[in-house]
Amino acid sequence: MKTILIKGVQLKGTSADIYIEGKYIKQVAADLTLAADKVIDGSRKAVIPGLVNTHSHAPMTLLRGFADDMKLFPWLEQKIWPNEAKMTHEDVYWGAKLACLEMIKSGTTTFFDMYQKTEAIAEAVEEAGIRGILSAVCFDHFKPELAESGKQNIRKQFQKADKYGERIRLSLGPHAIYTVSGDMLQWIDRFSAEHNLLIQLHLAETESERENAVKQFGLTPVRYLHKLGVLSSRLLIAHALYVDDEEIPMLADHGVKVAHNPASNMKLASGDRFKFAEMKRAGITVGIGTDGCSSSNNLDMVEAMKLASLLGKVWRKDPEVLTADEMLYAATEAGASIAGLNAGRIEEGCLADLCLVDLHAPAFVPNFNFVSNLVYAANGSCIDTVICNGEVLMENRKVQGEDEILEEAGRIAFRLIKS
């Protein structure tokens, strides 16, 4: 069994050695003298759990910077969806390869994704070495014939689920309540319960979505899902900006999880008042996500932690809420919990998903408080080494094959837009 020994790394302010055996952290202690296949010098570095991105659209890296400074629905309908419709298996594969590279370079070891051509994304994830909870986006646009086609596609996809490795898990991806009918959402919920699958859903992202839900269904988005009977512990909702104080207990009582996406919420001007603290007090598990690169422009979870904290402070006019420690927890242990992983902690018996942070950088001088520096001063470029499932994916900021990925993804992106 392959072993790794990390020597003299900073863990919660003290020097520690970490011994990894296979895919698990076997020992955490000072001055370990164990033999290992690979020894990593942890001096002038700190260790954190691998970051977990709870909402993304990985292949949208190909559309980074293509259609900026637009409102959500014109952006989707005029720019994003028409170009996504042209994407081939190869396009999605290279877009996902670029996303995986970017995530590794900034410390993400697990990501949740909703997109098309899931097999191409799974192929990229398998090669990259990180973990992906992947869902094929589903639309029926309230048309029964599209719903039946969607159901057939979902059944076919899950018949092939066994071919993926342990780092890849499939989930269900109904797009939103304005693109997926209530009947289809109920069918997906039943399929989810039968197969114990996570559901990823955009919900309550914009004020207009909330207003239109009241007009179309007579209920706000969360109340609509409650009426449909599809709120459950298998449901992960992204955004949830327009959720009122009566709806938060509904989510909590059913164990619904939430992904907060501060960068895209601000850039698309969807809203700023995400009720992170209120949801957490109610017992809701809240993770942090980046959303896709065409709405947030990067997949940097270190940056996302800062944005989540500062955004939550400013609209409340309260500098004491959403602390750096809370943000690191949301980006690691909370995200791992949503993924159902024994990870997000540097402890014996946990999965060996971890990152070494370079302390020899301006953002960490002086280092009065490492977590504060990480969240408020640093960005993803501080990540030096990434280990996922006991495998070294990046060391000294080098990822195998990164130059080819950058070149090919750039070429495909320009070809896609010109076609």
What total number of domains does the chain contain? 2
Q: What is the pLDDT of residue 251?
A: 98
- 149 shares a domain with 188: yes
Residue 291: its H or E element: none
Residue 284 identity (one-letter amino acid): I
Say how many residues make up the chain: 419
Q: What is the pLDDT of residue 419?
A: 75
pLDDT in tens, 378-389: 999 999 999 999
Enter the pTM of the model: 0.97
- 87 shares a domain with 198: yes
- 215 shares a domain with 87: yes
Q: Which domain holds residue 16?
A: 3-49+347-402
Q: What is the pLDDT of residue 71?
A: 83
Is 413 within a domain? no
CATH of the domain at 26: 2.30.40.10
- 229 shares a domain with 113: yes
Spatial distance between the Cα atoms of 357 and 385, rounded to a whole number of angstroms: 7
Spatial distance between the Cα atoms of 152 and 143, rounded to a whole number of angstroms: 15
**For residue 39, how many other CB atoms are within 10 A of its CB?**
14
Q: What is the pLDDT of residue 345?
A: 98
Decide if 113 contacts 58 (C-beta within 8 A).
Answer: yes
- 273 shares a domain with 354: no
Is 69 within a domain? yes
**For residue 406, how many other CB atoms are within 10 A of its CB?**
14
Q: Which residues contact 191 (CB under 8 A, 6 or more apart)?
A: 154, 172, 197
pLDDT in tens, 344-402: 999 999 999 999 999 999 999 999 999 999 999 999 999 999 999 999 999 999 999 99
- 220 shares a domain with 80: yes
pLDDT in tens, 206-251: 999 999 999 999 999 999 999 999 999 999 999 999 999 999 999 9
Residue numbers in the chain where pLDDT is lower than 50: none
Is 107 within a domain? yes
Q: How far is CA 75 from the centre of its chain?
A: 22
Is 411 within a domain? no
Tell me the angle at which helices 207-217 and 221-228 cross, rounded to the nearest 10 degrees. 40
- 42 shares a domain with 62: no
Q: Name the token pair of 73.
A: 């629905």
- 106 shares a domain with 21: no
CATH of the domain at 227: 3.20.20.140
Residue 369 identity (one-letter amino acid): N
Decide if 236 contacts 259 (C-beta within 8 A).
Answer: yes
Is 187 within a domain? yes
- 358 shares a domain with 253: no
Choose the final residue of a domain: 315, 339, 363. Answer: 339
- 356 shares a domain with 297: no
First to last CA, the chain: 49
Choose the final residue of a domain: 317, 339, 361. Answer: 339
Is 416 within a domain? no
Decide if 335 contacts 287 (C-beta within 8 A).
Answer: yes
Is 325 within a domain? yes
